[in-house]
Amino acid sequence: MATAFEKHGALSVRGTQLTDKDGQPFQLKGPSTLGIVWYPEYINQAAFETIRNWGGNLIRLAMYTAEDGGYLTDGDQDYLKGLLDTGVKAATELGMYVIIDWHILSDGNPQTNKEEAKKFFAEMTEKYAGYDNVLYEICNEPNGEGVDWATVKAYAEEVIPVIRKKAPKAVIIIGTPNWSQDVDHAADDPVAGEQLMYAVHYYAATHKQYLRDKVSYAMDKGLPVFISEYSNCDASGNGDLDEEEARKWAEFADERCMSYAQWNLANRDETSSMVKVPCTKTSGWEDDDLTETGLWMKKRLGGEI
Ligand code: IDC
C-alpha cells in the first residue's frame, strides 16, 4: 500500500486549507510526543508504525527549549538533535509527515531566544533540505505579559527567512499569543508569505466554544489554522476528560478539514498521556495498554470518531 507521503507528496497551503500535491484538501493527523528528552524511547520506527497502522500520518516531535533538559537550558544539544534525527528518519521511512517543534513554554516570549532559534532552524533546514515531509513549528506557545501578536509576528518575520533559505516550500506553523489561542489576532494582521499556518491549541476541558469562535473568526478571515496540540483533558495536561467538548472539537476540526496533533505519546502519570503508566511497551500497544486519551487517538485516527 502506498504511504501517505507517496500519495500526497509535498503539501501546500491554499487559502485556509492544507492541500496535497494534487491540490486536494489534506488533513495531517497523529500524536505529539511529550518532551523528547524525557521519553526518548517512544521515538522509534515501530512506535510510529503502530500510529500509522491506526491511520495516522503525522508525528510531532516536541523539543522543549527551557524546561528540564531543554535545548537552551541544561539539555545536551547534540543528543536532542540526534533524537530529532531518529524521529525524522523513522517518519520518512514510513512515508509519514513530521513536525519539528521548538517547544517554548516557560520561556513565553519567543524573542528572548530568537538568535538561538534562528541558529537551530538554519541547522535543521540544512539537514532536512530535501525532505518534503518535514514541517517546522517555530514557537509552541507564546505567552506572558506583553507577549502580543506584534511580538510573535516580529519573531516570525526573522525566523521564517532563515528557514526559507534551504526549505523554500516547507510548511511553517507559527504559534499565537496566549498559549496559541489568539489566532484571531493573527488573522487581523497575518505574516506575509506563502506556506504559513497558525497554531491553535486546545484542551477540551478548559478551552471551549469561545476558542472555536476565535478559530472560526480567523478562518473566515482567511487564516490557515493548524491544531498542532490538543487533548481532551484540562490545560494542565491532567484532570478530567470532557468528552462532550472533545466531540465538539473533533467535529469542528473535521468540518474544516483541519490538521491535528494530540498531546502526548508517553506513559507519564497524567490524563493526556496515551500509554498507561505500568505499560513499558514502546510500540505495538494493544487497547489494554492505552489510556482513555490513547484509545481516543486510536479511534480518531481510525475514523471511528
Ligand atoms: C505539559 C506536560 C507535563 C509537563 C509540563 C511541563 O503534559 O507532563 O510536566 O508540560 O511544564 C501545553 C504545553 C505542553 C504542556 C501541556 C499540558 O504545550 O508543554 O505539557 N499544555 O500542560 N499547552 C497547554 C497545555
**Tens of pLDDT, residue by residue, the chain (305 residues):** 899 999 999 999 999 999 999 999 999 999 999 999 999 999 999 999 999 999 999 999 999 999 999 999 999 999 999 999 999 999 999 999 999 999 999 999 999 999 999 999 999 999 999 999 999 999 999 999 999 999 999 999 999 999 999 999 999 999 999 999 999 999 999 999 999 999 999 999 999 999 999 999 999 999 999 999 999 999 999 999 999 999 999 999 999 999 999 999 999 999 999 999 999 999 999 999 999 999 999 999 999 99
229 is catalytic: yes
Residue ID of nearest Cα to ligand 1 atom 24: 235
Specify whether the CB–CB gap between 229 and 179 falls below 8 A. Answer: no
- Tell me whether residue 5 is in a domain: no
Q: Is 145 a catalytic residue?
A: no
Half-sphere exposure of residue 186, counting CA atoms within 13 Å on the CB side?
35
Q: Say if residues 212 and 227 touch (Cβ distance below 8 Å).
A: no
In a domain, residue 21? The reply is no
Query: Among residues 229, 243, 270, 292, which one is catalytic?
Result: 229
Return the best residue to mutate from 105, 140, 238, 277 for the ligand 1 pocket (most ligand atoms within 8 A of CB): 105
Q: Is 125 in the pocket of ligand 1 (CB under 6 A)?
A: no
Closest among 51, 113, 1, 100 to 297, alpha carbons compared: 51
Question: Which is the catalytic residue, given 67, 137, 141, 270?
Answer: 141
Domain residue limits at 82: 28-301
Cα–Cα nearest to 253, from 8, 12, 18: 18
pLDDT value at residue 1? 86
At 272, which CATH number?
3.20.20.80
Q: Report the separation in Å between the CA atom of 105 and the middle of ligand 1, taken as the mean of its atom positions.
A: 8
Distance 236 CA to ligand 1 centre (A): 6
Q: Is the CB of 242 under 6 A from ligand 1?
A: no
Is position 282 within any domain? yes
Question: Considering the domain boundaries, does residue 7 fall inside one?
Answer: no
- Ligand 1 centroid from CA 178, angstroms: 14
The CA-based angle 162-166-169, given to 5 degrees, is 95
Q: Is the pTM of this model over 0.85?
A: yes
Asked whether residue 243 is domain-assigned, the answer is yes
Ligand 1 touching residue 229 (CB < 6 A): yes
Q: What is the pLDDT of residue 106?
A: 98
Find cell 473566515 and name the residue.
Answer: 220
The answer to whether position 4 is within a domain reads: no
In the chain, which ranges are continuous DSSP H helix?
4-8, 45-54, 77-93, 114-127, 149-166, 177-180, 183-188, 209-220, 243-255, 292-301
Tell which atom from ligand 1 comes closest to the C-alpha of 272. Answer: 7
Number of domains, the chain:
1
As to burial, measured by CB atoms within 10 angstroms (0-12 exposed, 13-18 middle, 19+ buried), residue 64 is: buried
CA distance 301 to 181: 24
